[in-house]
Structure 1
Amino acid sequence: MTDQKIFFHAGDGEWTDLGGGNRRRVLLHTDELMMVEFAFEKGGIGALHNHPHVQASYVAEGRFEVTVGEHSDTLEAGASFIVPSNVVHGVKALEAGRLVDSFTPHRADFLA
Structure 2
Amino acid sequence: MKQSEHFTFASEAEVEDIGGGLKRQMLGYNHELMAVKIYFDKGAIGYNHAHRHSQVSYVVEGEFHFNIDGVTKILKPGDSCFIPPHTDHGATCPTGGVLIDTFSPAREDFIEDDK
* TM-score of the aligned structures, taking structure 2 as reference length: 0.90
* TM-score of the aligned structures, taking structure 1 as reference length: 0.93
1:75 and 2:75 aligned: yes
Corresponding residue number in structure 1 for 2:64: 64
1:28 and 2:15 aligned: no
Corresponding residue number in structure 2 for 1:95: 95
Shift of 1:35: 0.3
Shift of 1:9: 2.0
Q: Aligned partners of 1:98, 1:109: CA distance in 2, in Å?
A: 21
The CA deviation string for residues 3-36 of structure 1, in whole angstroms up to 9 with x for no partner, is 8522222213111112122111111001100000
The CA deviation string for residues 70-94 of structure 1, in whole angstroms up to 9 with x for no partner, is 2110001110001000000000002
Q: Aligned partners of 2:52, 2:20: CA distance in 1, in Å?
A: 25
Q: Aligned partners of 1:22, 1:107: CA distance in 2, in Å?
A: 17
Q: Which runs of 4+ in 1 moved over 4 A?
A: none
Secondary structure of the residue that 1:91 maps to in structure 2?
strand
Q: Aligned partners of 2:62, 2:102: CA distance in 1, in Å?
A: 18
- CA RMSD after TM alignment: 1.3
> Given residue 59 of structure 1, which amino acid in structure 2 is its aligned partner?
V
